[in-house]
């Protein structure tokens, strides 16, 4: 069997639209994945004629018809695929006829745009932190917004609990209590933590854009990406992947 005909097991599950590579690694680690009825060793690759199953369910790798959804998540819905643990989960709420999973997350008290797909490879590309993809939010806080608040939010906030300082970002005041913010990183509860540091409390938080795709459906509804959106998205991802690879190559030369 030639090497190029073999596929890493986590990549196979990702390309089949079962889950992301990260989730696939967890399933493999837990011994829930089999190849031809046998639990494989870590690093085992899959041949075209192999039968891959998760918990006994055969997973077929069909790359031809991926689903890409733009969903307006309501407040109170959790971005998890673990339907057994969390009853207010995004998968049960949408009830889509194919197995899909969210790209990234949006906190339970937040609302707005989130992508769902069965294309595991695009998940990895979008989530890669080095890609600096823009995400735009509209946020309402509990007291009047000062120019000092805008300046400090824009220039980076030290988040000691995460051991990081936020990257510089674009922040614009919309009215006395509302601002627009465009981030290129996705730290845990980042905007809420930044506001708390400056003595403000977030009242509402809505994501209105991810990269080239804008929120344009009612709360609780979804739509498929247009062909033009997919084309532009793939171009952005291709460019950012090349930048990431060039950065890796440069770092190896310097070390």
Active site residues: 107
- From the list 21, 36, 17, the residue with the least C-alpha distance to 97 is 17
DSSP 130: G
CA torsion through residues 17, 99, 91, 86, sign: negative
Q: Give residue for tokens 């465009």.
A: 182
Q: How far apart are CA 79 and CA 106, in angstroms?
A: 6
How far is CA 3 from each of CA 6, 46, 59, rounded to the nearest angstrom? 5, 10, 22
Six-digit token string for 21: 């590579």
CA dist 131 and 207 (Å) reads: 19
């Amino acid at each position: 069997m030639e090497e190029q005909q073999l596929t890493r097991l986590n990549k196979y599950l990702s390309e089949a639209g079962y889950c992301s590579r990260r989730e696939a690694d967890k399933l493999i680690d837990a011994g829930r994945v089999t190849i031809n009825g046998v639990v494989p060793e870590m690093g085992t690759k899959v041949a075209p004629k192999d039968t891959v199953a998760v918990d006994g369910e055969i997973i077929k790798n069909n790359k031809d018809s991926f689903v890409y959804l733009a969903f307006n998540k309501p407040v109170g819905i959790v971005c998890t695929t673990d339907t057994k643990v969390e009853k207010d989960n995004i998968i049960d709420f949408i009830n889509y006829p194919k197995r899909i999973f969210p790209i990234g997350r949006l906190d339970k008290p937040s609302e707005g745009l989130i992508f769902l797909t069965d294309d595991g490879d695009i998940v990895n590309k979008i989530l890669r932190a080095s890609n600096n993809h823009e995400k735009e939010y509209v946020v309402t806080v509990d007291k009047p917004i000062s120019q000092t608040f805008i300046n400090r939010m824009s220039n980076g906030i030290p988040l000691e609990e995460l051991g990081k300082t936020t990257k510089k970002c674009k922040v614009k005041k919309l009215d006395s209590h509302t601002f627009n913010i465009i981030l290129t990183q996705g730290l845990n509860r980042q905007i809420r933590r930044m506001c708390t540091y400056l003595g403000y409390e977030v009242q509402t938080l809505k994501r209105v854009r991810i990269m080239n795709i804008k929120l344009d459906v009612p709360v609780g509804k979804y739509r498929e990406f247009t062909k033009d959106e997919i084309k532009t998205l793939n171009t952005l991802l291709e460019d950012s992947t090349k930048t990431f690879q060039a950065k890796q190559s440069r770092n190896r030369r310097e070390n």
